[in-house]
Amino acid sequence: MNIGEIARRAGVSRSTVSYALSGKRSVSDETRRRVQEVIDELGYRPNASARALANGRTSTIALVFPPAGNHYTGMQLDFIGSVVEAAAAHDYDVLLSPSGADSDRSFQRLLGERRVDGAILMEIRLEDDRVDHLAELAFPSVAIGRTAHPEGSWWVGLDHTALAAACVHHLADLGHRRIAFVNRPEQLLHAGYESAHRGLDGFTKAAAERGLTARTYCCGDDAASGRACLEQILHDDPATTAVVTLNEAALGGLYGGLAKAGRHVPRDFSVAGVVASRWAETVTPQLTAADVPAEEMGRRAVELLVERLDHPDAQPRHHLLAPPISLRSSTGPAGGIAP
C-alpha cells in the first residue's frame, strides 16, 4: 500500500495526500478527513524513509555505548532497557551502536548518513571524545554521566562522589575504622570512566575526613573477581571490617569470599554500595545501598533529548541525582557492638 493508492481511493492527488500527512501545506478539513478515512481503512503506515523525507526526521535515536569486554553488566542492561522503553513512549525507535571513538567508522556512518535524529551516550569518561565530537557537529545528544567539564552540555548524572561518601559515613557511624573500596575494573579506571573516578574520589575523601584506615581495589565485573578481591582485602588487612563497592557484578563474589573466610554479614563484616535496587535485593542479606535509579535516568535522558530535538534553541539542561542510602541488612555495628 502506498500514497498513490490512497490518493486514488480518496479522489485527490498524491501531493495532497503528502501534504495531509506531513502538514507542510494546509488542506481542507474535509479533504484531510477523507484521506484519514482511507488510511484507517487500509491500515497504512508510512515507512521510515518516507517519514524522513517528509519531515526531516527518522523517528530514531541512537544509544551509543563502548564495548565492555565480553559481557555487559546488569546495570548496563538496566540502562539500555530503560532508554528503549522511554523512547517507545515518545514514538521513537532506538538504534544500538556499540561504538565509541570519533574515529570509529560505524559511529561516523551513523552520524554522516543521519540515520538517527539524536544520540544518547552511555559509559561516559571524564575526557570523552564522543561528547566533544557531537558538540563540534552540533548533533543533538544527551549523556548518561558527565565529563570533567560538563558546562554547556545536556546530561543526566549520578553523584557518585556524594553517594560513595555517604556509604563511608554510614559505616563510620556504625564504628567501622578499617574499610576497603571495591571499584570497577582497572582498565575502566585507566580509561577515565567517570563513575569509577568520582566514586573513588568520594570514598577516599570521606575516609580521610573520618580518620579511617582505608584501602582501594579495582575488581573485574564478575563473581570470580569479587571473590579474589575479597581474599586480597583480608590478606592485606585482616582487621578490615567493611567494604564499599560500586561493582554490582562482583557483589555475589564478595559475599562468597566472606562466607569462605568465615565472616558473617553483618555480624562480623558490613557491606554497602552504589548499585541498582534489584541487584541489592538479590543477595542475602540484602545490600545497604544508594540505589541507582536506572529507569529514571534512562527516562530523563530520553526526555531531554526529545526536548532538544523539538526545541533546537533551548538552553542546555541536566539532572544530577543523589538518591538516599537504603538501609537493608548488610551493615551493622563494627564487631557487633553499638558505636
What is the pLDDT, as a whole number, of residue 338?
Answer: 40
Q: What is the CA radius of gyration of the chain?
A: 25
pLDDT attached to residue 53: 46
Categorize the per-residue pLDDT at 19 as very low, low, confident or very high, splitting at 50, 70 and 90: confident
- Note the pLDDT of residue 4: 79
Q: Is the pLDDT of residue 52 over 60?
A: no
Q: What is the pLDDT confidence band of residue 232, given thresholds at 50, 70 and 90?
A: very high
In the three-class reduction of DSSP (H, G, I as helix; E, B as strand; rest coil), residue 325 is classed as strand
Enclosing H/E stretch for 289: strand 288-291
Contacts of 40 (CB under 8 A, 6+ apart): none
pLDDT band for position 229 (50/70/90)?
Answer: very high
- Whole-model pTM: value is 0.81
Which pLDDT does position 330 carry in this prediction? 98
Sign, CA torsion 236/240/244/248: positive
Q: Torsion-angle region of residue 327: left (phi > 0), alpha (psi -120 to 50) or beta? A: beta
Q: How many residues does the chain have?
A: 339
CA distance 188 to 68: 9
Q: Rounded mean pLDDT of 290-296?
A: 93
| Residue 258 vs residue 116, higher pLDDT | 258
Of residues 5 and 46, more confidence is placed in 5
| Distance (Å) of CA 92 to CA 118, 119, 210, 270 | 11, 12, 48, 44
Percent of the chain clearing pLDDT 90 (strictly above): 65
pLDDT number for residue 104: 67
Q: Tell me, what's the pLDDT at 45?
A: 63
Low-confidence winner among 226-235, 263-272, 276-285 (lowest mean pLDDT): 276-285
Q: How confident is the model at residue 44 (pLDDT cuts 50, 70, 90)?
A: low
Question: pLDDT band at 46, cuts 50/70/90?
Answer: low
Starting at the earlier edge strand, list the strands of the sheet with 178-183.
213-218, 178-183, 242-245, 270-275, 288-291, 325-326
For 53-67, 137-151, 203-217, which range has the lowest pLDDT when averaged over its residues? 53-67
Annotate 181-194 with DSSP letters as a single string: EEES-HHHHHTTBH
> In which region does residue 72 sit, left (phi positive, over 0), alpha (psi from -120 to 50) or beta (all else)?
beta
Instruction: Please report, in angstroms and rounded to a whole number, the separation of the first and last CA atoms in the chain.
Output: 74
- If you average pLDDT over every residue of the chain, what do you get? 88
Share above pLDDT 70 across residues of the chain, in percent, rounded to a whole number: 89
How far is the C-alpha of 84 from the C-alpha of 69, rounded, in Å? 22
Q: What is the pLDDT of residue 1?
A: 56
Residue 127 has pLDDT above 90, yes or no: yes
DSSP sequence for 195-251 = HHHHHHHHHHHHHHHTT-EEEEEE--SSHHHHHHHHHHHHHH-TT--EEEES-GGGH
Least confident range from 39-53, 198-212, 256-270, 322-336: namely: 39-53
Lowest model confidence (mean pLDDT) among 67-76, 143-152, 289-298: 67-76
141 and 128 in contact (C-beta within 8 Å)?
A: no
Question: Lowest mean pLDDT: which of 59-68, 100-109, 225-234, 250-259?
Answer: 100-109
What secondary structure, in 3-state letters, does 92-157 show? CEEEEECCCCCCCHHHHHHHHCCCCCEEEECCCECCCHHHHHHHHHCCCEEEECCCCCCCCCCEEE
Phi, psi (rounded to 5 degrees) for 141: -155, 155
Domains belonging to the chain, first-starting first, are 3-55 (1.10.260.40), 60-158+296-321 (3.40.50.2300), 160-293 (3.40.50.2300)
